[in-house]
A and B are shown apart, each in its own frame.
Chain A
Amino acid sequence: MTTLEADRLATTIGIKPSRRRGVPRRRPGRAGLTGYLFVSGYTLFLIAFGIVPTGYAIYLAFTNDRGQFTGLGQFIKVVQDYRFAPAFFNIFVYLVMWLVLVIVVTVVVAVILRARMRPGLAAAFRFVYYIPGALAGVASVLVWLFMLDPAVSPASGLLRAMGLESFAAVLAPANLPVILVLIAFWTGAGGWIVVMYGALNNIPDEVLEAARMDGAGPWKAAWHIQIPMIRKWIVYMAILAFAAGTQLFVEPQLLQTASLGRVSSTWSPNQLAYVYAFQYGDFNGAAAISLFLLALGLIVAAILVSRSGLFKVDDE
């Protein structure tokens, strides 16, 4: 909340702005301690379930099951696996479609909700968009299994109109990225629409008012003011959506089972890692695959962060 906004809020609820100045200044030392307290819970979990497992994966990826150092051997081994390239290609196609869709659509929907709708109606829509997100990954896949089977789907007419006469035809390899993007978008977009809406709310009305007075229509205002001003949120969304996308597992795994094996059990890199770990008992190879995903996520995040100045703190 900016100073301007805070002042306005204070005026509207009847507190004189001068009283705010009477608030004692924060003492750096105490604030630091409270800060540590607040982050301690998260830090503990981060160490236990984030950092330690990552370290263990790095250890595993450079050793074999006898604990001997193997250098890059595990990485070379998994790259040479005939399923490695297809899995990464699948996830690449999926990510391109998913990122474009989630970024464009959530921002557009949020802008429309913010600018073109009465607040009550906008809230109702936000709620509706968010509902599918309440379903866990597994449940949402099950919903879509029904939606996509022409024999039982309420939208079977539409599927048949597209020439998809059977569940097997729907699950053709070329359709899989589209299906998985649909599932991911349906469950994930609602949350991001709410976040983007909140980001748009942070733009002071004065700015938009000034734009209107200068003759900017709603679309111009959105393109030249609102979207540039929430750019950091969009980058943040891109990083998280990318990381989540590369880790795709539950959806293709369930489709694999439900399709009785028509969908490959190593469609995504995470599934390949799963096969390595739990079918072959090769946790070292699985760790090597997971490090590829980690490196990919870090590189993309680093590019996005450095290009967008995401963590640059504005000088007050």
Chain B
Amino acid sequence: MSPKPLNNTKKGKTMKSPRLRLSHRRTASGALALITIGALAALSGCASTDQSASDTAATFSPVAQDNTSEITVWADSTRLPAVQAYQKLNPDVKMNIVTYDGSADGSTYLQTKVQLFDRTGSGWPDVVFGSPTDVTWASQPTTAGSVPFAAPLDEGLVDQSTLDNFAKGSLTPCEFDGHTYCLRNDIAQVVLWYNKALMDQWGYQVPTTWEEYEALGVKVGQEHPGYLVGAVGDTNSQESYFWSSQCPAQQLQDDGTLRVALQDTNCTRMASLLDNLIAAKSVTTQGFFSQGFDGSKVLMANGPSWYGQYLFNSAFNTPAGQIAAANPLKWDGESDAYTGNVGGGVWMVSSHSKNLAASTALTKWLTTSDANLQSAPTYPAYTPGATTWLANPANSSYFADDISGPFETAANQVWTGWSNTKFSDATAWSSVVLPAITAGKTLTETLPAWQSAIVNEAQSVGYTVTTK
């Protein structure tokens, strides 16, 4: 009692003279496939599959202006209060404030949306907060015939004297083809953070070189197991460590090629230093910002200026009066110290804005006014604003020591060889290096995989890469 016999008879019916039919069919389909492949092969390469790009920089011509029209502002949650404060001070300006991820951690949300707005021809926000990476595409047309999203601010929107007041090099990510497409919100120079209370209690000296840092890290691993001198598991740890080590991970050359050379000694020395400290268990492969991280065990952290308020005060709830900052570390035998930069957002004005006056006024207020900058959540890129910021006791009272010295020193020591590229440096680090070290591999043995991930990504967005 099974349906098998039924099946067999059915099969029998369709299988009449199977050989003949099969061979016929095979010949026919084979011939068809050959013809198709032949035809398509002949036709392939008719036209380039490259995306069209206009070589000539389109001159900026504003759309018809209406100084009373509403402006749409996209900001991340950190910058939201500042935008809201502006709205409160200027109730006449009609503003539509939207919160989004602010291009953090390599997000491409803004780029995705602008692509679509370029296609539909409407919907662009007037003012956006973004990352320096965003400016690389926002200063170029996304498709043939489209206008670059970012308006050139040096063309009658912002005075040259204002632009000149930004910290040296801080507007470099904004500059393309001789124009300035954004105003830098903050710089995130890397300093050495440490818990002064613990260091004093244990009688440790604050290191001034990487070699001292490594030695102290090994010592901490032995004398105070569980305490940490660093973490490499965040999406931006490579900027704190490898950028500070002057590692040529993505160095734009004068001829326009991109140098990716992770076997350079500037990279390998940092990789082996971190590997040693990971082995000594005083550097964790977890991220400072991962869920449930115990901040009370952090003795030192080489990280950006915003670690003070964001990491120690907000995320770790470390009591006031314990945390201090020191100058960036240098390597033995090198005369100058260099440091990295972790983030530092920018503000862009849309070239499609119907109300450039209001948009520019907001952008200027956000990036240059003392009213905003004195209590800004991060270290201002606008030099007079940074002075005001440092003078505000609210920004320094939390710390055990005066932070202005290290902050100002580090701001001038950011290594310029880590270029602002069309791709985010977070992608390869997060998707290739972090899973590998989480699985227990060393950084030194992961360098080749990291290198090829950066090379692949760079080539996919059009860079010519050199690995020498």
Do A and B come together as binding partners? yes
- Please, what's the 1-or-0 string for B35-75, where 1 marks a CB less than 8 Å from any CB in chain A? 00000111111111111100000000000000000000000
13 examples of A-B residue contacts, CB within 8 angstroms: A64-B51, A65-B52, A152-B292, A168-B434, A228-B7, A259-B430, A262-B431, A277-B115, A278-B115, A278-B116, A280-B461, A281-B51, A281-B142
B105 touches A166 (CB 8 A): no
- Please, what's the 1-or-0 string for A168-211, where 1 marks a CB less than 8 Å from any CB in chain B? 11011100000000000000000000000000000000010011
Interface residues of B (CB under 8 A from A): 1-4, 7, 10, 40-52, 105-108, 111-112, 115-116, 118-119, 142-144, 233, 235, 285-287, 290-292, 426-427, 430-431, 434-435, 438-439, 456, 459-461
Chain B residues, Cβ within 8 Å of A173: 435
Q: Which of A172, A216, A228, A265 contacts B439 (CB 8 A)?
A: A172
A294: interface (CB < 8 Å): no
CA of A277 to CA of B431 in the docked complex: distance in angstroms?
A: 21
- Output the residue of B7, B47, B106 with the most chain A CB within 10 A: B47
Chain A residues, Cβ within 8 Å of B285: 168
A142: interface (CB < 8 Å): no
- Output the residue of A74, A82, A211, A216 with the most chain B CB within 10 A: A82
B290 touches A166 (CB 8 A): yes
Q: Which of B1, B52, B116 contacts A210 (CB 8 A)?
A: B1
Nearest residue (CB) in A for B431 is A264
CA of A173 to CA of B286 in the docked complex: distance in angstroms?
A: 16
A66 touches B47 (CB 8 A): yes
A77 touches B112 (CB 8 A): no
- Output the residue of A63, A71, A83, A151 with the most chain B CB within 10 A: A71
B48 touches A262 (CB 8 A): no
> Main SS of chain A's interface residues?
loop
CB distance from B440 to the nearest CB of A (A): 10
A69 touches B46 (CB 8 A): yes
Chain A residues, Cβ within 8 Å of B144: 65-66
CA of A211 to CA of B1 in the docked complex: distance in angstroms?
A: 6
In the complex, how many residues of chain A place their beta carbon closer than 8 angstroms to a beta carbon of chain B?
54
Nearest residue (CB) in A for B43 is A71
CA of A7 to CA of B105 in the docked complex: distance in angstroms?
A: 67
B143 touches A81 (CB 8 A): no
A37: interface (CB < 8 Å): no
Chain A residues, Cβ within 8 Å of B3: 225, 228-229
CA of A68 to CA of B50 in the docked complex: distance in angstroms?
A: 11
Closest 10 CB pairs of A and B: A71-B44, A261-B430, A68-B47, A71-B43, A151-B292, A72-B44, A278-B112, A73-B49, A151-B291, A82-B456
Q: Which of B4, B431, B438 contacts A169 (CB 8 A)?
A: B438
Q: CB within 8 Å of B: which of A208-227?
A: 210-211, 214, 216, 224-225
CB distance from B147 to the nearest CB of A (A): 14
Chain A residues, Cβ within 8 Å of B44: 70-73, 76
CA of A282 to CA of B143 in the docked complex: distance in angstroms?
A: 9
Chain B residues, Cβ within 8 Å of A50: none
Query: Contacts A171-B435, A261-B431 given: A279-B115 contact, CB under 8 Å?
Result: yes
A167: interface (CB < 8 Å): yes
Q: Which of B4, B50, B460 contacts A81 (CB 8 A)?
A: B460
Chain B residues, Cβ within 8 Å of A211: 1
Chain B residues, Cβ within 8 Å of A257: 107
A263: interface (CB < 8 Å): yes
CA of A279 to CA of B46 in the docked complex: distance in angstroms?
A: 26
A284: interface (CB < 8 Å): yes
B291 touches A149 (CB 8 A): yes
A261 touches B426 (CB 8 A): yes
CB distance from B134 to the nearest CB of A (A): 12
CA of A268 to CA of B461 in the docked complex: distance in angstroms?
A: 19
CA of A210 to CA of B427 in the docked complex: distance in angstroms?
A: 63
A77 touches B49 (CB 8 A): yes
Chain A residues, Cβ within 8 Å of B52: 64-66
A168 touches B233 (CB 8 A): yes
Nearest residue (CB) in A for B50 is A64
Q: CB within 8 Å of B: which of A228-264?
A: 228-229, 257, 259-264
Chain B residues, Cβ within 8 Å of A309: 10
B43 touches A69 (CB 8 A): yes
A285: interface (CB < 8 Å): yes
Nearest residue (CB) in A for B141 is A281
Q: Which of B40, B111, B287, B438 contacts A71 (CB 8 A)?
A: B40
Q: Which of A166, A214, A282 contacts B51 (CB 8 A)?
A: A282
